[in-house]
């Protein structure tokens, strides 16, 4: 299956290049049709170069974020300017 995908990817890449070149030569300019074909080439190259992974990857790691927030126990009010933010003036 991997070789079929690789062959189809390279075949589509070659086909898109030929479509783009034929569009350029037939119209005499680099038009939108040739750009569309050229911009689709990376997808077909990615198809040709990708590998198939038949095994599933399962990650069962749980991660807990550390509590970096400091609790204010003295009851003072915190303003945005204390952290370097500008306070909006309405």
For the whole model, what pTM was predicted? 0.55
Residues 18-50 pLDDT 10s? 999 999 999 988 889 899 999 999 999 998 898
Q: Which of 42, 38, 45 is nearest to 17 (CA)?
A: 38
Structure tokens at 52: 């198939």
* Residue 84 clears pLDDT 70, i.e. is over it: no
* Residue 75 clears pLDDT 70, i.e. is over it: no
Region 5-14 average pLDDT: 92
* Residue 12 clears pLDDT 70, i.e. is over it: yes
Taking the CA atoms of 30, 32, 38 and 39 in sequence, report the sign of the dihedral they define: positive
Query: Cα–Cα–Cα angle for 40, 45, 50, nearest 5°?
Result: 130
Residues 48-65 pLDDT 10s? 898 776 666 677 777 777
């Amino acid at each position: 299956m991997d070789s079929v995908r690789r062959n189809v990817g390279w075949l589509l890449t070659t086909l898109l290049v030929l479509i783009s070149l034929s569009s350029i030569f037939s119209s005499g300019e680099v038009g939108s049709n040739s750009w569309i074909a050229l911009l689709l080439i990376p997808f077909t190259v990615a198809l040709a170069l990708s590998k198939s992974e038949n095994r599933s990857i399962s990650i069962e790691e749980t991660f807990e974020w550390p509590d970096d927030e400091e609790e204010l126990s003295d009851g003072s009010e915190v303003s945005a300017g204390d952290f370097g933010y500008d306070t909006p003036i309405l």
